[in-house]
Amino acid sequence: MSAFNLLHLVTKNQPVPERACGLPSGLKREKKNYKVVFTEEELRKRLSPMQYHVTQEKGTESAFKGEFADHKDEGTYTCVVCGALLFKSETKFDSGSGWPSFFDVVKTDAVSQMDDFSYGMHRIETSCSQCGAHLGHLFDDGPRPTGKRYCINSASLSFAPKTQIPTEKAKSNDNQHLPAGSENAQL
């Protein structure tokens, strides 16, 4: 049993399976059967070098440097790779870590979790459940009601601002410019 496993066993009073250390940051993610799949060539064209490094090579951006670290607008955060809905702005909080932090996901199956033993420590890695993109890590030091802190790289996220729901008056004004009989054609 490694010193880490022994220390974890003593401090957490929970059994830890003995395993080899995980791969350090910078190595490519494992290939699995995800619902959404992109070629490496397509991702390199579409993503910035930092987005590719974080999402595909399990990298980490510098603290306090990411686009969404201090972001306070209302809306939703999606996976930069596949567009899957991950987090809402209502669950974002300032953890002081320098990375965007959320206390909950949009739905429980939006984010996959797996053990990460890289760098001689145990963490829970988070990734997009649709495409496998590395997002960040999950910690148990967040605020209520969940006590969770999803510490997420800005480079793995896109943001969609909250849009106003059109009023009935606005809808009827839009329809006045349509040809007669085509009011329902706006689907």
Active site residues: 151
Q: What is the DSSP letter of 87?
A: E
Which tokens in the block code for residue 119? 């760098």
Q: Cα dihedral sign for 122, 92, 62, 48?
A: positive
Contact, 128 vs 112, CB < 8 A?
A: yes
Contact, 100 vs 175, CB < 8 A?
A: no
The span from the CA of 88 to the CA of 41, in Å, is: 30
88-118: string of b/e by CB count within 10 Å (b at 16+)?
bbebbeebeeebbbbbbbbeeebbeeeebbb
Return the biggest CA–CA distance within the chain: 77
Contacts of 126 (CB under 8 A, 6+ apart): 111, 112, 113, 134, 135, 136, 137, 138, 150, 152
